[in-house]
Amino acid sequence: MRKIIYIVSSALLLFSTSCEEIIEVNPKQSIDATEALTSPEAIEAATNSVYSRLRLVSQYGRDMVAIPEVLSDNSIPAGTGIRLVGQANNQAGAHLSNWQSAYYAINEANLILRALNEVDVNVEFRNRIEGQMRFLIGLYYHDLMRAYAYDPTAIIEASNRGGVPLMTQGVRGTDEIELAARASIEEVYSYIYTNLESAQTLLQETSNARAPHYATVGAASALFTRVALYNGDYERVIQEAENALSSGVGTFQSNENYISAWRQEVHPESMFEVVFMTNENIGQNESLRATFTTRFNETTNTATSQGLAVLSDDLLAQYDEGDVRRELVWMGLGDNSDKYEITKFFSRGGINNLDNVPVIRVSEVYLNRAEAYAMLGMSAEANADLNVIRERAGLDEVELVGDELLEEILRQRRVELAFEGHRSFDLKRLGRDIVKESGVIPFDDFRTLARIPIREVDINPNLEQNPGY
């Protein structure tokens, strides 16, 4: 019984439900993975399921975007509702909770990789599917690491319990389950690198036609710039940025098009984006639109939601006069009429609460590379990338060195990527305190890391909980 509970809670055996959703086979019955993944059509459908898990509230439906802002100094609670209040107050245990949904997706991906070796498919099909799964495994694992483990660039050794467990094989039955311990931080990053490198190789012959909603070589390289930045591997950031920016995926937007880009259904800068169809609307209570703003769109005159997370005074102070990005900040409506809201998620699909979510944009790649150059002391190159972002925002060029250069890159990163799910992660990887209007959360505070779900630790004697929980 304990093993069965562990399968459910850790999401190691999942096709009994997911296949009912994606394959019309015995729709009212539980489908075993060995039965479901026996044809290219079933594998293709299962591949879509791994993508679909990114749309969950615990993933990019809300939490991977909203909670890193709410935990940080970018946001303050509007006081209009009870959702995310614990996170806004940095209460113990109120943090990200993407563990279960990520491991569901990882096991699905591993089962698909397993099926590719058992089903007769051609090389093009195999490479395309495996490349996508390798990309998604890299994304899901890095997001787990961002939540539950220290980053290689900033570790409190006394509190370091390692990375997260590595599931490298798909599990179909109870006899295949291993109660894994946490791998080291280095081991997990090595595994992420291996998967992203494989994705780049396997997707070489795959066109960009389905970008940015499906994995491409450009998306893999863009994600690699983020992963390598967190890993302190600055030379690799620069290398992968060159690959990403020359891939043809995502188009850097001009000053004139900056605001309109955020009103389009698909953001033109997206190198990878989570797409939502009409029947996948997160809804009034938990969508990013409803979390960040009381407005439905540009013409709304009455409040249509609570707008739970609004801009802090400190974030507002980071916008320079004439910065086009300030035009995305609007006064709220109703109870938020005296508060500033972000309007990046503004029902861009034309339907209330329906927004595709950019996971990584071209602008981030420039900022990742600028920071890497600065860390390597390459001031001219760092200034060049920094000024790409500043000039597009309508600001003058700068020529900075040393700490001034790094701090300006980080300030531009904060403004450019505001309310896209980066701020608390950036503070964490830099080893910095969170300085909020309500108080300071030191970097060495146990609340910096998320709590591993208690059910996981209770069932798995090899899984060590993060300190403080």
Q: What is the CATH number of the domain that holds 170?
A: 1.25.40.390
CA dist 97 and 84 (Å) reads 12
| Residue after which a domain boundary falls, among 316, 338, 354 | 354
For the chain, how many residues are written? 469
Strand partners, 274: 357
Residues 6+ apart with CB under 8 A from 384: none
Q: Rounded to the nearest 10 degrees, what angle do helices 40-52 and 15-22 cross at?
A: 100
What is the predicted pLDDT for the residue at 20?
34
Residues 6+ apart with CB under 8 A from 386: 370, 398, 400, 405, 408, 409, 412
What is the predicted pLDDT for the residue at 304?
87
Q: Rounded to the nearest 10 degrees, what angle do helices 185-202 and 217-230 cross at?
A: 160
* 27 and 169 housed in the same domain: yes
Contact 356, 349 (CB under 8 A): yes
* 44 and 141 housed in the same domain: yes
Tell me which amino acid residue 15 is. F
* 19 and 107 housed in the same domain: yes
- Answer whether residue 332 is part of any domain: yes
Strand partners, 440: 435
* 135 and 284 housed in the same domain: no
What is the predicted pLDDT for the residue at 300?
87
Contact 263, 253 (CB under 8 A): no
What is the predicted pLDDT for the residue at 351?
87
* 195 and 280 housed in the same domain: no
Q: Where are the alpha helices (DSSP H) in 231-360?
A: 234-245, 258-261, 288-292, 313-316
| Residue after which a domain boundary falls, among 333, 354, 375 | 354
* 350 and 426 housed in the same domain: no
- Answer whether residue 143 is part of any domain: yes
* 292 and 167 housed in the same domain: no
Residues 6+ apart with CB under 8 A from 359: 54, 60, 139, 223, 270, 272, 273, 274
CA dist 232 and 230 (Å) reads 6
- Answer whether residue 249 is part of any domain: no
CA dist 424 and 158 (Å) reads 21
* 341 and 430 housed in the same domain: no
Burial of 123 (0-12, 13-18, 19+ CB in 10 A): exposed
- Answer whether residue 231 is part of any domain: no
Number of domains the chain is built from = 2
pTM of the model: 0.93
CA torsion 212-201-131-103 (nearest 10°) is: -100
Q: What is the DSSP letter of 435?
A: E
CA dist 386 and 459 (Å) reads 48
* 181 and 280 housed in the same domain: no
Widest CA span in the chain: 65
CA dist 182 and 305 (Å) reads 40
Contact 416, 325 (CB under 8 A): yes
109 membership: H or E segment, kind and range:
helix 99-116
Whole-angstrom Cα Rg for the chain: 22
* 8 and 148 housed in the same domain: yes
* 91 and 201 housed in the same domain: yes
- Answer whether residue 164 is part of any domain: yes
Contact 50, 112 (CB under 8 A): yes
What is the predicted pLDDT for the residue at 238?
99
- Answer whether residue 14 is part of any domain: yes
CA dist 188 and 219 (Å) reads 20
Contact 43, 129 (CB under 8 A): yes
> Alpha-carbon torsion 254, 258, 260, 261, what sign?
positive
Per-residue pLDDT of the chain (469 residues), as tens digits, is 343 334 333 444 443 333 333 333 332 223 344 457 999 999 999 999 999 999 999 999 999 999 999 999 999 999 888 899 999 999 999 999 999 999 999 999 999 999 999 999 999 999 999 999 999 999 999 999 999 999 999 999 999 999 999 999 999 888 888 899 999 999 999 999 999 999 999 999 999 999 999 999 999 999 999 999 999 999 999 999 999 999 999 999 999 999 999 999 999 999 999 999 888 888 888 999 999 999 988 888 999 888 999 999 999 999 999 999 999 999 999 999 999 999 999 988 788 888 999 999 999 999 999 999 999 999 999 999 999 999 999 999 999 999 999 999 999 999 999 999 999 999 999 999 999 988 999 999 999 999 999 999 999 999 999 999 9
* 145 and 285 housed in the same domain: no
- Answer whether residue 257 is part of any domain: no
- Answer whether residue 409 is part of any domain: no
Domain residue limits at 433: 2-75+82-206+422-453
CA dist 60 and 149 (Å) reads 19
CA dist 18 and 42 (Å) reads 12
CA dist 116 and 110 (Å) reads 10
| Residue after which a domain boundary falls, among 330, 354, 378 | 354
Q: How many CA atoms lie within 13 A of 145 on its CB side?
A: 31
